[in-house]
């Protein structure tokens, strides 16, 4: 079956679920590097050299319950027979599911968005609330690529409220989209809480955790990825779950900001500190400035 037939038959199917089974994967040319297909604040692409040395060389299944852009998944996907990918952000999860099952129909919609350039078009799209999964995915990707600093932030009502980022929308290249879809062939992608996701990990599996960093203050603007904040109680629960993973023989690695809370709650684990440079919002302007950020890699004692 050709790659065209594989995907074109799905053009009229707007609803994609986590349990949909894909046909045989498209085999991308070797020169196409499969990497994160979207911008995501807090993504770990630049930190991969620091994280990868702590990832096991082999494991049974891969789990990532704070998915985001999935930088580590793309880097180590060939080490596992299957990957369980999840997040609480329903729009994010929907895009991943569409990328897996229906990349060509998505590309057709994105081609239309390339004609919607500029600030006025951005705010028109931001106000829209499409219902079909395919249209939701296209809108999400458009906003992700054109919003300020690649940030996805929702208010307490679940409404996306990031201003325009003065960026042109360029869509997505067909070969790359098909390569991403192929990389997702042996995955389960779903929206669920990290506790539910971690309950599925078994002995011999590997879990990567990249939870939202705790807000620096109660007025911190950069915390509402999905209309909810990740608070100290959630970090405590995550620490408890990580202790359970270690006891079950599940290897895990977490990346986080170096803080007293992290060091206290994860005292049962190994903690490695380092410093990286991050781009942060500059005060009183819509620019970004580099800043040293103390980080840690935490992993279960082996």
Task: Look up the domain containing 87 and give its range.
Answer: 1-193+222-234
**Residue 208, in any domain of the structure:** no
Tens of pLDDT along 25-75? 555 555 678 999 998 888 899 899 999 999 999 999 999 999 999 999 999
> Could you give the angle at the alpha carbon of 140 between the alpha carbons of 106 and 43, nearest 5°?
110
CATH of the domain at 66: 1.10.1020.10
> Could you give the angle at the alpha carbon of 60 between the alpha carbons of 54 and 66, nearest 5°?
60
**Residue 75, in any domain of the structure:** yes
Tens of pLDDT along 177-198? 999 999 999 999 999 999 999 9
Give how far Cα 13 sits from Cα of 7, 20, 276, Å. Answer: 11, 12, 44
**Residue 122, in any domain of the structure:** yes
Predicted confidence (pLDDT) at residue 150 exceeds the cutoff of 90: no
Helix (H, G, I), strand (E, B) or coil at 290: strand
**Residue 270, in any domain of the structure:** no
Predicted confidence (pLDDT) at residue 141 exceeds the cutoff of 60: yes
**How many separate domains does the chain show?**
1
Which tokens hold the place of 148?
């300020």
Q: What is the mean pLDDT of residues 1-10?
A: 32
**Residue 299, in any domain of the structure:** no
Percent of the chain past pLDDT 90, that is, above it, reads: 69
**Residue 260, in any domain of the structure:** no
Per the CB < 8 A criterion, the answer to whether 149 and 288 are in contact is: yes
**Residue 251, in any domain of the structure:** no
**Residue 255, in any domain of the structure:** no
Predicted confidence at residue 113, as pLDDT, reads 96
């Amino acid at each position: 079956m050709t790659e065209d037939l594989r995907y074109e038959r799905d053009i009229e199917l707007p609803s994609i679920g986590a349990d949909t089974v894909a046909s045989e994967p498209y085999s991308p040319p070797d020169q196409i590097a499969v990497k994160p297909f979207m911008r995501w604040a807090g993504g770990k692409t630049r930190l991969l050299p620091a994280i990868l040395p702590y990832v096991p060389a082999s494991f049974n299944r891969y789990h990532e319950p704070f998915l985001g852009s999935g930088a580590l998944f793309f880097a180590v996907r060939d080490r596992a027979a299957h990957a369980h990918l999840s997040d609480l952000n329903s729009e994010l999860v929907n895009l991943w599911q569409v990328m897996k099952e229906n990349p060509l129909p998505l590309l057709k919609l994105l081609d239309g968005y390339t004609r919607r350039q500029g600030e006025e078009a951005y705010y028109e799209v931001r106000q829209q609330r499409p219902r079909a999964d395919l249209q939701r995915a296209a809108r999400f990707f458009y906003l992700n690529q054109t919003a300020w600093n690649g940030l996805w932030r929702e208010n307490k009502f679940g409404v996306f409220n990031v201003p325009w980022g003065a960026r042109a929308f360029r869509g997505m290249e067909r070969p790359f989209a098909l390569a991403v879809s192929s990389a997702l062939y042996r995955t389960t992608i779903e929206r669920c809480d990290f506790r539910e996701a971690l309950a599925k990990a078994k002995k011999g599996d590997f879990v990567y955790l990249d939870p939202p960093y705790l807000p620096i203050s109660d007025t911190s603007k950069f915390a509402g990825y999905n209309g909810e904040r990740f608070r100290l109680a959630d970090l405590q629960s995550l620490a408890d779950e990580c202790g359970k993973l270690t006891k079950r023989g599940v290897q895990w690695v977490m990346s986080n900001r170096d803080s007293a809370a992290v060091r206290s709650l994860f005292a049962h684990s190994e903690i490695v500190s380092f410093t990286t440079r991050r781009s942060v919002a500059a005060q009183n302007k819509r620019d970004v400035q580099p800043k040293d950020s103390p980080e840690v890699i935490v992993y279960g004692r082996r």
